[in-house]
Structure 1
Amino acid sequence: MLLAVDIGNTHIVIGVFKNEKLLSHWRLSSNITRTEDESFLVVKLLFDQINITPRDISGVVISSVVPNFTNVYRLLSIKYFNTRPIIISSDLKLGIKIKYDNPKAVGADRLCNAVATYRKYGGPSIVVDFGTATTFDVISKKGEYLGGVIAPGIETAGGELHRRAAQLPKIELKFPKNIIGKNTIESMQAGILYGALDAMEGIIKRIETELGSKAKLIATGGYSKLMCMESKLKLNCEPSLVLEGAKLIYELNR
C-alpha cells in the first residue's frame, strides 16, 4: 500500500492507496508543532479505522508547501515505515513539461494537480484548487504546464475580513439564499462566496481567451464541491486530485 501525504498551510490530507484504489483519506489541521512521533500516533489512529497497520505500507509520497512539516513526515516515514519517502518537486519525472520561468517555484500541490489532470483529462485544461490560496493551473494539449494564477483563498478572505474589521464577525462560509444580504453575516457570505465564484468564472474566461480555445475544467480542494454545485460552468469535481497526482508521480520515480 502507498501512503500519500498532502501538506498544506491550513490542512494536511492523508490518503492510503491499495493498487489503483484510494482506500480512504482524512483531512487534519496543520499543526507545525507536532513531532514525527506525535504525527505517527495520529496516523496510527487513522489506520485503525480501516484495519491496516504500518507494516502494510510499502511506500510513502509527500506533497508539501510547508518545509518544516516536510521534514516531520520524512522522519516519520523513515522511522515508522522503514522507507525513504519520495518528496514531490520539479526535479522528479512528472510526465509533463514545466514551462514556468522558474520550475522550482511551482508548488508541489500544483505539480500534483497538473499531473493528475493531464493524465485523467488531457489538455488544454484548467484546474482550480480552493485552498489557503485559490490557484488556477493551465496545461496545454501537448502536456505542458503553462503557469497560472494565484489568488486569495476563500477562508483566507473571510479570515482577513474578520481580523482587520473590528465589527465583522467570523462566519460560516456557505452561500446565502440571496446576493442582497439582509444582515452582516449574509452580506459577508455573499461577498466572499459569490466574489470567489465570479472571480473563478471570470479568470477561467480570461485564460480561455488567452489560450484561444475552450479548456476542460477541473475543481479540487476544500471548497471545490461547493463551487461545483453553484457554478454555471461545467466543472469536473475532483476533491482528491493532489493525492492522485502524488501517486502518479511516485509511480514514475520509485
Structure 2
Amino acid sequence: MLLAIEQGNTNSMFAVHDGTNWIAQWRSATEPNRTADEYAVWLAQLVAMVGLELGELDACIVSSVVPQSVFNLRNLSRRYLGVEPLIIGENVDLAIPVRVSKPSEVGADRIVNAIGAHICYPGPLIVVDSGTATTIDVVAADGGFEGGAIAPGIHLSVEALHSAAAKLPRVALKKPDRVVGNDTVSAMQSGVFWGYIALVEGMITRIKAERQEDMTVVATGGIAALFHDATDVIHHFDPDVTIRGLLELYRRNSGSRP
C-alpha cells in the first residue's frame, strides 16, 4: 500500500492507496520540527482506526514545500515503513516538461497539481490552488508546466488586516450577503472575499489574453470550496488534484500501474 504525503506551509495530508482506491486520508497542522517518531505514533493510531498497521504500508511518496520537514518524513518512511521514499524534487522523474527559467525553484505542490489536473482535463489549463499562498499556474496541452503567478492566500489577507490595523478585528472568512458592508466586520468580510474573487478573475482574464487561447480553469485547495461557485471563470472545483498527481508520479517512477 502507498502512503502519500502532501505537506503545505499550513496543513499536511497523509493518504493511503491500496492499489485501486484511496482508502483513508488525514490532515494535520504542519509542524516543521515534528520528529519521525512523533509522526509514527500519530500515524499508527490513525491507520489502526481503518483496520491497518504501519507495516502494511510498503511504499511512500512525499511532496513538501517545507524543506526542514523532509528529513523527518524521510526517516518516517525508512524506519517505520522500511522503504526509501520518493521525494518530489529529489529522486523523482517528473516526466513532464517544466518550461521556466529555473525549474529547481518551482514548488513541488505546483508540479504535482499540474500533473494531477492534466490527467483529467484535456487542453491548456489554468490551475488555481488556494492555500497559504494562492498559486495560479499554466499547464500546456501536452501537460508541460509553463509558469504562473503566486499571491498571498486569503487567510493571510485576513490576518494582515487584523495585525497591522489596530482597530480592525479578526473576522471569520465567509461569503458576505452584500458587497457593500454596513459595519466594520461586514466591510472587512466583503473586501477580503470579493477582493479575492477579483484577484482570481483578473489574473485568469490576463493570462488568457496574454496566451491568446481558450483555457479550462480548475480550482483546488481548501479555500476554493468557499469561492468557486461565486464566479463563473472557474470551470471545475476538484479537491483531488494534488493527491491524483502524487499517485500518478508514484506510478510513473515505480513502474507500477495497479
TM-score (norm 2): 0.94
Once the two structures are superposed, residues 178-197 of structure 1 have per-residue CA deviations (whole angstroms, 9 ceiling, x without a partner) of 11112222111111111111
Where in structure 1 are there 5+ consecutive unaligned residues? none
Decide whether the 8 Å contact of 2:110 with 2:137 is kept in 1: yes
The CA distance in 1 between the partners of 2:82 and 2:154, in whole Å, is 38
The CA distance in 1 between the partners of 2:53 and 2:91, in whole Å, is 31
Decide whether the 8 Å contact of 1:128 with 1:137 is kept in 2: yes
Q: Give the match for residue 33 of structure 1.
A: 33
Decide whether the 8 Å contact of 2:139 with 2:146 is kept in 1: yes
Once the two structures are TM-superposed, the CA of residue 105 in structure 1 deviates from its matched residue by: 0.6
Once the two structures are superposed, residues 109-158 of structure 1 have per-residue CA deviations (whole angstroms, 9 ceiling, x without a partner) of 00100011111113200100001100011011122211000001011111
Q: Give the match for residue 105 of structure 2.
A: 105
Counting only pairs closer than 5 Å after superposition, residues 226-241 of structure 1 correspond to structure 2 as 226-241=226-241
State which drifts further: 48-57 or 73-82: 48-57
Where in structure 2 are there 5+ consecutive unaligned residues? none
Counting only pairs closer than 5 Å after superposition, residues 175-214 of structure 1 correspond to structure 2 as 175-214=175-214
The CA distance in 2 between the partners of 1:35 and 1:29, in whole Å, is 14
Once the two structures are superposed, residues 33-72 of structure 1 have per-residue CA deviations (whole angstroms, 9 ceiling, x without a partner) of 3211111112122212322111221111000000111111
Once the two structures are TM-superposed, the CA of residue 249 in structure 1 deviates from its matched residue by: 0.8
Q: Give the match for residue 218 of structure 1.
A: 218
Decide whether the 8 Å contact of 2:173 with 2:193 is kept in 1: yes
The CA distance in 2 between the partners of 1:152 and 1:188, in whole Å, is 17
Decide whether the 8 Å contact of 1:162 with 1:169 is kept in 2: yes
State which drifts further: 140-149 or 44-53: 44-53
The CA distance in 1 between the partners of 2:183 and 2:199, in whole Å, is 23
The CA distance in 2 between the partners of 1:68 and 1:98, in whole Å, is 24
TM-score (norm 1): 0.95
Decide whether the 8 Å contact of 1:60 with 1:77 is kept in 2: yes
State which drifts further: 158-167 or 108-117: 158-167
The CA distance in 2 between the partners of 1:64 and 1:100, in whole Å, is 20
Structure 1 pair 96/151, CA: closer, same or farther in 2 (3 Å)? same
Taking every aligned residue pair, what percent have the same amino acid on both sides? 35
Letter in 1 for 2:27: R
Letter in 2 for 1:135: T
The CA distance in 2 between the partners of 1:229 and 1:16, in whole Å, is 30
Letter in 1 for 2:75: L
